[in-house]
Amino acid sequence: MEQFRLPKIPMPKLELPKAIRQVLEEAEQKLAHRPKLLQLFQNCFPNTLETTTKLLDDGTTFVITGDIPASWLRDSVEQVIHYVPFAKNDPDLQRIIGGLVKRHIQYIHIDPYANAFNETANDWHWNKADMTEMSPWVWERKFELDSLCFSMRLAYAYWKETELTDIFDAGFKAAMYKIYELFRTEQRHFELSPYRFTRNNGIPSDSLSNNGMGMPVI
């Protein structure tokens, strides 16, 4: 097994949006009588913005998941979803969350079967022994239905809160159609799906059975 590991990559400093600073200030007042809980909240609530978020020049946002230089679709949504209720009147926070939606759309166009992506096409992969159609953009290509659902969840929550529609461009529409077609394809996986996945690491449960096709579905 050839597994690619890097130490935690420092992210550029990101100034906290005004709405998030206001939440922290409010916490100082309401939790003043519980200093340990206050400290926990102060450490955890802004952590995603302070340690894992990078604004890119193309207007998108890259959110590193965990201690590796890649972004999981599902996990990156969960890392920012608690900021959505504060985004309605904060352009800086809208830039961050809306930018993440746009980055997810780019990734879905690259490979809707992948679950985790690199910031650039640097050809880094979680495991070089994975036998599937890898792209230089893809960190890991385990097809997970919920990954695509989480991308749609973030877009919907962001729109409902902010009423902004700039994320719903032609690329977004095309990505939603691509997801729809993939869902239809996977309903007849054995007959129609091009997806295969095996991992040559000696752990049978890490690979799909039937030569990477998985179990039959009805």
What does the domain layout of the chain look like in residue ranges? 14-51, 55-212
Q: What residues pair up with 131 in beta bridges, in sequence order?
A: 198
* pLDDT confidence of residue 87: 98
Q: Is 69 exposed, middle or buried (0-12, 13-18, 19+ CB in 10 A)?
A: buried
User: In which residue are the tokens 């309605």 written?
Assistant: 88
- pLDDT, tens digit, 9 for 90 and up, residues 80-116: 999 999 999 999 999 999 999 999 999 999 999 999 9
* pLDDT confidence of residue 84: 98
User: Could you tell me how far CA 147 lies from the centroid of its own chain?
Assistant: 8
Parallel/antiparallel/unpaired status of strands 138-140 and 116-117? antiparallel
* pLDDT confidence of residue 129: 79
* pLDDT confidence of residue 124: 92
Q: How far apart are CA 44 and CA 217, in angstroms?
A: 41
Q: How far apart are CA 179 and CA 183, in angstroms?
A: 6
Determine contact, residues 4/131, Cβ cutoff 8 Å: no
Low-confidence ranges of the chain (pLDDT < 50): 1-2, 7
Q: How far apart are CA 61 and CA 100, in angstroms?
A: 5
* pLDDT confidence of residue 216: 73
Choose the CATH number for 55-212 among 1.10.1200.10, 3.10.350.10, 1.50.10.10, 3.30.230.70: 1.50.10.10
- pLDDT, tens digit, 9 for 90 and up, residues 153-171: 999 999 999 999 999 999 9
* pLDDT confidence of residue 130: 85
The identity of residue 116, as a single letter, is A
* pLDDT confidence of residue 218: 64
Helix, strand, or coil (residue 184)? helix
